């Protein structure tokens, strides 16, 4: 029985969710922003906005220039997460192995659940229909189907919007790779493209036909990895296993550009709390920290270092981050703060919420549990009073972790 892997990618996801929630936005240019300010960044645009050249990364003021009629809305992560849960629940009814790749993408292993690629394509149409009927009529997705994760995602990426593309044979693979730009492939960026071009590889079919031993000799494991991908050789499985991210962190563009360290410290604590919440939510601890800031003009200050003890609580993260802030002279007003933790590992030892003498770790978990139940920031440290509008919840498209 052949391996049958499906990749589902929601189209214009955040903007489509907003249009689904508000019928008055349907058929109009919509830009979902991280912040509703002229310098705010578009993190998702509707199909109508994309037709006018408004894409992810476009500034809000530039979007207004391109389309004065665009409707800008601030992102609501809880709304998108809730919608994703409904979509993934539908996917789970077709397979026991679902790997969320991001909030709007997932891999589904249909091996053993369907007999052939034709049946998989029929299920793909059924999934699209169910998403519209059960989640929202304004939600569309593209679906790719093949025998490896790479080829399934590649098929989904090049499929037309709302479409389904199946790569079910080597002949079909050759057809879709011919004259296809290198950067169309998952994992190839402009720098990698330039290296491949130096080897005489101009498109993805050239890469497929290149000698494996030669590309491995010149580009090492990276080149061999790319060659395996375009030749349909699976090197990773669809997995429900927990994904351990390389780092967890948050950044914040300050509405008030300042050198006031009291204000900066308060904002920094909020970032440390958000980082700590995610760290504990993933049952991880860290042994390295990265903290820094950007100035209103070019330049900034960033420092990374290992810590003697494992980081787990917000206070532990903040103590190290704030020490960097307090000990560094600010040469001009700060416009952006960032903090992240890395060298992550599973929490060592069993932590209990019910001991008589709660440790700082146990107290952090107890507060997290209360905030999970009654709403974010129901219980906070005094350092966070007045920070509700600082570093509000945001969400990204890339890999979940």
Specify the CATH class of 247-384 in words: alpha beta
In terms of phi and psi (left: phi > 0; alpha: psi -120 to 50; beta: otherwise), the region of 252 is: beta
Spatial separation of the C-alpha atoms in residues 356 and 369, rounded to whole Å: 17
Whether residue 174 is predicted with pLDDT greater than 70 in this model: the reply is yes
Specify the length of the chain in residues. 401
**Residue 263, token pair as written in the block:** 């204000």
Spatial separation of the C-alpha atoms in residues 359 and 352, rounded to whole Å: 9
Whether residue 349 is predicted with pLDDT greater than 90 in this model: the reply is no
Task: Tell me the average pLDDT of the chain.
Answer: 85
Spatial separation of the C-alpha atoms in residues 250 and 34, rounded to whole Å: 13
What would the DSSP string read from start to end of 256-280? EEE--HHHHHHHHHHHHHHHHHHHH
Quote the percentage of the chain above a pLDDT of 90. 52
Spatial separation of the C-alpha atoms in residues 179 and 322, rounded to whole Å: 52
SS (H, E, C) 189-254: CHHHHHHHHHCCCCCHHHHHHCCHHHHHHHHHHHHHHHHHHHCCCCCCCCCCCCCCCCEEEEEEEE
What are residue 250's phi and psi, to 5 degrees? Answer: -145, 150
Whether residue 363 is predicted with pLDDT greater than 60 in this model: the reply is yes
Spatial separation of the C-alpha atoms in residues 22 and 16, rounded to whole Å: 10
Q: What is the DSSP letter of 59?
A: B
pLDDT of residue 106: 92
Whether residue 35 is predicted with pLDDT greater than 50 in this model: the reply is yes
Neighbours of 104 (CB within 10 A): 22
Based on the number of CB atoms within 10 Å of its own CB, is 211 exposed (0-12), middle (13-18) or buried (19 or more)? Answer: exposed
Which tens digits make up the pLDDT trace of 85-144? 899 999 999 998 898 888 889 999 999 899 899 999 999 999 999 999 999 999 999 999
Closest CA to 209 of 218, 219, 199: 199
pTM over 0.75: no
Decide if 147 contacts 2 (C-beta within 8 A): yes
Distance of CA 180 to the CA centre of its chain: 26
Q: What is the DSSP letter of 126?
A: H
pLDDT of residue 390: 54
281 versus 181: the higher-pLDDT residue is 181
CA torsion through residues 180, 183, 186, 192, sign: positive
Which tens digits make up the pLDDT trace of 196-228? 999 999 999 999 999 999 999 888 888 888 999
Q: Residue 355 to residues 235, 284, 315, 358, 363: CA-CA distances in angstroms?
A: 46, 21, 21, 6, 10
Which tens digits make up the pLDDT trace of 227-286? 999 999 987 777 665 455 678 888 888 878 899 999 999 999 999 998 998 888 888 889
């Amino acid at each position: 029985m052949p391996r049958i892997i499906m990749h589902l990618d929601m189209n214009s996801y955040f903007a489509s969710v907003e249009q689904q929630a508000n019928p008055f936005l349907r058929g109009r240019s919509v830009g979902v922003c991280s912040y509703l300010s002229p310098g705010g960044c578009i993190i998702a645009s509707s199909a109508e906005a994309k037709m006018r050249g408004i894409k992810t990364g476009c500034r809000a003021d530039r979007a207004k220039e391109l389309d004065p009629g665009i409707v800008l809305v601030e992102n609501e992560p809880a709304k998108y997460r809730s919608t994703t849960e409904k979509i993934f629940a539908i996917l789970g009814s077709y397979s026991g192995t679902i790997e969320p790749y991001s909030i709007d993408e997932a891999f589904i292993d249909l091996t053993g659940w369907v007999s052939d690629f034709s049946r998989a394509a029929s299920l793909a149409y059924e999934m699209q229909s169910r998403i519209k009927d059960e989640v929202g009529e304004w939600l569309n997705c593209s679906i790719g189907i093949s025998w490896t994760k790479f080829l399934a995602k590649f098929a989904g990426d090049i499929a037309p919007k709302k479409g389904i593309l199946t790569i079910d044979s080597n002949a079909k693979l050759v057809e879709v790779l011919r004259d296809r730009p290198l950067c169309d492939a998952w994992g190839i960026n402009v720098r990698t493209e330039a290296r491949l071009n130096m080897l005489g590889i101009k498109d993805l079919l050239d890469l497929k036909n290149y000698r494996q031993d030669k590309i491995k000799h010149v580009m090492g494991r990276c080149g061999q990895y790319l060659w395996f991908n375009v030749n349909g050789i699976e090197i990773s499985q669809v997995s429900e296993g927990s994904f351990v991210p390389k780092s967890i962190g948050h950044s914040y563009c300050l509405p008030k550009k300042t050198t006031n360290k009291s204000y900066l410290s308060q904002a920094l604590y909020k970032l440390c709390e958000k980082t700590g919440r995610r760290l504990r939510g993933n049952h991880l601890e860290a042994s390295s920290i990265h903290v820094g800031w950007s100035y209103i003009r070019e330049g900034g200050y960033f420092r990374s270092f290992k810590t003697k003890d494992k980081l787990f609580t917000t206070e532990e993260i903040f103590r190290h981050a704030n020490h960097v802030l307090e000990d560094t002279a600010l040469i001009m007003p700060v416009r952006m703060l960032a903090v992240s933790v890395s060298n992550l590992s599973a929490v060592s030892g069993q932590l209990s919420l019910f001991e008589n003498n709660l440790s700082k770790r146990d107290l952090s978990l107890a507060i997290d549990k209360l905030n999970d139940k009654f709403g974010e920031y129901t219980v906070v440290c005094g350092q966070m009073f007045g920070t509700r509008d600082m570093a509000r919840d945001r969400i990204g498209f890339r890999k979940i972790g």
